[in-house]
Chains A and B, each alone.
Chain A
Amino acid sequence: MTYLYAQPNLTSGIDQAIISTGESVPAFPIMILFFIFTVVLLSGSSAQRRRTGTADIPFWAVLAGISTTLTALVMNIGVGLLNLTTMVIVISITILCGFWFFMSKVRGEQ
């Protein structure tokens, strides 16, 4: 059977399987980061909206950015998952989310 990409070697450990998949499909690690960002942002804001009636989107955006940054930092320890450009873009998005969060607060709002 012909596969579209090289099959990962699962006998070398789960981390090597992820790295092999990332080498075959370069968008795979980026999709993981995007998935984490989206899950934290949507689940957090929707849960807050359900409990309090309003959702603090900038807060959940910066929290999703920090979660993504921490995940990307751990993924950067090994070789072959993320390149420098992706890492810098993740950091930049987190900084922009933080700027949005701080500038969205009006006087007296926590």
Chain B
Amino acid sequence: MGQISFVTNMIMAALFCIAIVGFAINFGYDNNSSVNIAQDPDMPQLKSDIQTKVELFYYDANTSSDAMQKSTISTQTESTEGGTSFKVTPANALGTAGKLVTMGYKKIFGSDSGFGIFLTALIAILGFMSALYIWKAWKAGGVD
């Protein structure tokens, strides 16, 4: 299992956990259940902790993606400075995709919905994968 698939699987497992716990809690609230897992202190805490981790991954992925786009290969004896194209295309593509997804999300779910965590994780995974693929294509590194 490569790094991209590993991180993607971890994020999907985290989102699955958030979805299950969130659904169970809100199902209990909506139906006035006699037993709600929100009465257990560990389950809402687990959801909150994992949600924080996913949001942190979003900011870390953005930071690493920016650093990857802004980096260059310095001029060598038989080569010119490289990396210019990587500064432009991924940033524009990700920005366009982000605007499109955000617009669609706002029209469907509203501006302040709990579903935002899924969009956050999706954009973070896109940024993370873009950064790693740039690294692989440019530096011929060992990422998968």
Contact = CB atoms under 8 A, between A and B. Distances in A.
Interface residues of A, number: 22
A76 B36 contact: yes
B34 A91 contact: no
Nearest to B17: A95
B20 A91 contact: yes
B16 A98 contact: yes
Interface stretch (B24-32, B57-65, B69-77): B24-32
B33 interface: yes
A94 B12 CA distance: 14
A34 interface: no
Contacts of A87: 24, 35, 37, 40
A18 to B, nearest CB: 15
Interface in B1-36: 1-2, 5, 9-10, 12-13, 16-17, 20-21, 24, 27-28, 31-36
Determine chain B's interface SS by DSSP, over half rule.
helix
A49 interface: no
Contact of A105 (B5, B16, B31, B39): B5
A103 B7 CA distance: 10
Interface in B51-90: none
Interface string A63-98: 000100100010011110011100110010011001
Nearest to B32: A77
B24 A73 contact: yes
Contacts of B9: 102-103, 105
A4 B36 CA distance: 32
A88 B43 contact: yes
B13 A88 contact: no
Given A88-B40, A105-B5, A107-B144, A77 B17 contact: no
Nearest to B35: A76
B112 interface: no
A106 interface: yes
